Structure 1
Amino acid sequence: MSRTITKLFRICLLALCAIAGAAQAEAPKSNFIEANGVRLHYLSAGKGDPVILMHGYTESSHMWLPLIAELSKNHLVIAPDLRGFGKSATPQGPYTKSVMAQDVHALAAALGIKSAKIVGHDIGLMVAYAYAAQYPKEVSKIVLMDAFLPGVGNWKDVWLLRDLWHFHFYGETPLALVKGRERTYFEHFWNDFAADKTKSLSEADRKFYAAEYAQPDHMRAGFEVFRAFEKDAAEFAAYAKTPLTIPMLVLTGEKASGEFLIQQARLVDSNVEGVVIKNSGHWLMEEATAEVVPKLVKFLQ
């Protein structure tokens, strides 16, 4: 009889733990706000020490859902769709990463956030760096995830690689070529930038992002982030003259940025921890979720 009671107690305890865990990891809320003159969409979840997540190209705030589920247990998590992406507005410009960071800062200010930890992947890491460079006293920790920093070190070794034609792919003709073929275009990124394309983005996510970018004017806006790289480079080179001292974690894929981004980071910040994720390509959140999410949670605690 006592064994039966003990077993029932354990079952009830496990059920209560599951309910508690589900309550902690509630689905993030979808919100809209006017920030820096742009209507931005953002996801929000949790309470506590704020963390702001900035997505990369071909994706949106949706990419952060697995991380939001963990971080929101102990943090207020904000994941905006950057200007021109997701459900946010698509202004004509500019799409420099400094201005995109000003959007996010205006969003944070409107929410009463005076200091935050920030995370950026791909284009989002450029926005995150521009945020920290412009508002260093308002950032307590920063994470850069797999891409590069325009204007820093030998950045043109990446920008001018002949197989990275997409950095120079914008204007009327590219827009006409990809209209109605958004997914075909994005498959280049999702497949070729992965260590193993079968372990890259899921089919559901590919459909989701292709539909988001197929919205009116979204492909043009996406192309504009590349057109702005030369302006970004000039601004980042100026920022780098005053190195940050903020704790910085740099995560890269072994089959993607490798050591390059880590080396760049050490030129702009004096407090850098660099980690190369083995057997991963560019899509760290998707290719190495089980390794990357715990590293991010630990660093951001």
Structure 2
Amino acid sequence: MNLLSRSFRRAASALLVLLAVQGTAHAAGAGAIQSHNAEVNGVTLHYLQAGEGDTSPVVLLHGYAETSHMWRPLMPQLAGNHVVIAPDLRGAGQSSKPDGGYDKKTLAQDIHALVKSLGYPKVKIVGHDIGLMVAYAYAAQYPDEVDSIVLMDAFLPGVGDWTHVWLLRDLWHFHFYGETPLKLVDGRERTYFEHFWNDFAADRNHSVPEADRQFYASEYARPGGMRAGFEYFKAFEQDAKDFAGFAKTPLHMPMLVLSGEKAGGQFLIDQAKLVDTNVEGVLVKGSGHWLMEEAPEQTMPALVAFLNK
């Protein structure tokens, strides 16, 4: 009987170890980030993907001076419960850089085409900076296909008193495009972006890390990268017209707004309440514009909690 009992305990222990190993491997596999390309809406979109789950996938949209790379620290935290998709927007990173189509309505149509090509009927969508404008344009155009939305520190052109937004203190770069600006930044991409990474942060010494700065500068130095980036701002006049029209039909899905205390502050939260009836606003304490890099200990748990609801 003792021999039988010992054999049973050994077998049970071995089974537990096997299950633990399989569980660890499964979690690691779910969190593994893969790189893909898709031909959609007339452009090639590069995107990162990780995770698995039966709920709606999470789509993460980067902003200016960054790419999908910014989401790598967050993706494994979501991957246990969701498929997570982080595209390079048209014009950024490894995605194609056509002459036009940089208004946020069209950028959102790119992302929608990508989501449809992957077979998903609904998404949870997150955007930072330019990405939040794309996320809003997505939700406004396809409200029945969005479970929830997150806007992270920037503003919505054309909504409310938007010309007084904090980021407009640097209005010059919204008009910085064309032949001469492109010649000025050629080979000096890092110098140009340092202004944003440093001056939009609460503390320039606690902003975008050095390795990421090198990565982003090289990504935007790809042929056509700087020109395409300038087009995001050149399109703001059209975006303002589009968003003013979108805002006439309020959204109703849950919306989380994360705004840097030392950057957008209350302004984005107030704007969001003009376009959605179900808004939760959070000021990220002590942070400037770069929420993921300046305040990850506040930003990532808030995102995970909201997206896992």
Q: Same fold (TM over 0.5)?
A: yes
Instruction: Give the TM interval when normalised to the shorter protein.
Output: over 0.9
Aligned to 1:4: none
Q: How does 1:84-123 map to 2 (within 5 A)?
A: 84-123=91-130
How many equivalent pairs are there? 292
Task: Look up the SS of the partner of 2:150 in the other structure.
Answer: strand
Aligned to 2:263: 256
CA contact (8 A) 1:24 1:73 kept: no
Query: Is 2:41 the counterpart of 1:36?
Result: yes
Cα distance in 2 between the residues matched to 1:298 and 1:56: 22
Aligned to 2:242: 235
CA deviations on 1:210-261 (whole Å, 9 max, x unpaired) are 0000000000000000000000000000000000001000001001000000
CA deviations on 1:75-123 (whole Å, 9 max, x unpaired) are 0001100000010000101200000000000000000010010000000
CA deviations on 1:111-170 (whole Å, 9 max, x unpaired) are 001001000000000000000000000000000000000000011113894533212211
Cα distance in 2 between the residues matched to 1:175 and 1:159: 26
Task: Look up the SS of the partner of 2:119 in the other structure.
Answer: coil
Percentage of matched positions with identical amino acids? 68
- Following TM superposition, by how much is the alpha carbon of 1:197 offset from its aligned partner in structure 2, in angstroms? 1.0
CA contact (8 A) 2:103 2:236 kept: yes
Aligned to 1:289: 296
**What amino acid does structure 2 have at the position aligned with 1:294?**
P
Structure 2 gaps of 5+ residues are 1-13
Cα distance in 1 between the residues matched to 2:44 and 2:128: 22
Aligned to 1:23: 28
- Following TM superposition, by how much is the alpha carbon of 1:69 offset from its aligned partner in structure 2, in angstroms? 1.0
Q: How does 1:124-143 map to 2 (within 5 A)?
A: 124-143=131-150
Cα distance in 1 between the residues matched to 2:51 and 2:30: 8
- Following TM superposition, by how much is the alpha carbon of 1:24 offset from its aligned partner in structure 2, in angstroms? 5.0
Cα distance in 1 between the residues matched to 2:283 and 2:84: 25
**What amino acid does structure 1 have at the position aligned with 2:115?**
A
Aligned equivalent of 2:51, options 21, 46, 50 = 46
Task: Look up the SS of the partner of 1:43 in the other structure.
Answer: strand
Aligned to 2:64: 57
Cα distance in 2 between the residues matched to 1:195 and 1:21: 39
**What amino acid does structure 1 have at the position aligned with 2:52?**
K
Aligned to 1:174: 181
- Following TM superposition, by how much is the alpha carbon of 1:288 offset from its aligned partner in structure 2, in angstroms? 0.8
**What amino acid does structure 2 have at the position aligned with 1:79?**
A
Structure 1 gaps of 5+ residues are 1-8
Q: TM-score w.r.t. structure 1 length?
A: 0.93
**What amino acid does structure 1 have at the position aligned with 2:159?**
V
Cα distance in 2 between the residues matched to 1:71 and 1:26: 8
- Following TM superposition, by how much is the alpha carbon of 1:19 offset from its aligned partner in structure 2, in angstroms? 3.8
Q: Which runs of 4+ in 1 moved over 2 A?
A: 15-22, 24-27, 158-164
Cα distance in 2 between the residues matched to 1:62 and 1:219: 17
The root-mean-square deviation of aligned C-alpha atoms, in Å, is 2.0
Aligned to 2:85: 78
Choose 1 or 2 for highest CA Rg. Answer: 2
Deviates more, 1:107-116 or 1:166-175: 166-175
CA contact (8 A) 2:63 2:130 kept: yes
Q: TM-score w.r.t. structure 2 length?
A: 0.90
